[in-house]
């Protein structure tokens, strides 16, 4: 049976760097979608009032 102690491997540091670079929330996209939805709702309200 193998021992349960974990020892870091050589590739772990590279994997952690890759994950920290790629796991970012797309804040710009979320913000753009929210602005677009806000403009769409505003447009619909303005047009429906006529």
Q: Does the reported pTM lie above 0.85?
A: no
Tokens representing 25 are 């929330």
pLDDT band per the 50, 70, 90 thresholds, residue 46 = very high
Calculate what percentage of the chain has a pLDDT beyond 70. 100
Question: Is pLDDT of 45 > 80?
Answer: yes
CA diameter of the chain: 77
Tokens representing 4 are 């349960």
Tokens representing 42 are 């505003």
Q: What average pLDDT does range 14-19 have in this prediction? A: 88
More confident residue, 40 or 49: 40
- Between CA 43 and CA 47 the distance in angstroms is 6
Query: What is the Cα gyration radius of the chain?
Result: 24
CA atoms within 13 A on the CB side of 28: 1
């Amino acid at each position: 049976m193998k021992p349960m102690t974990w020892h870091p491997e050589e590739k772990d540091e590279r994997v952690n760097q890759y994950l920290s670079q790629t796991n970012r929330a797309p804040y710009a996209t979320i913000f753009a979608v929210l602005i677009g939805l806000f403009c769409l709702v505003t447009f619909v309200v303005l047009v429906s009032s006529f």
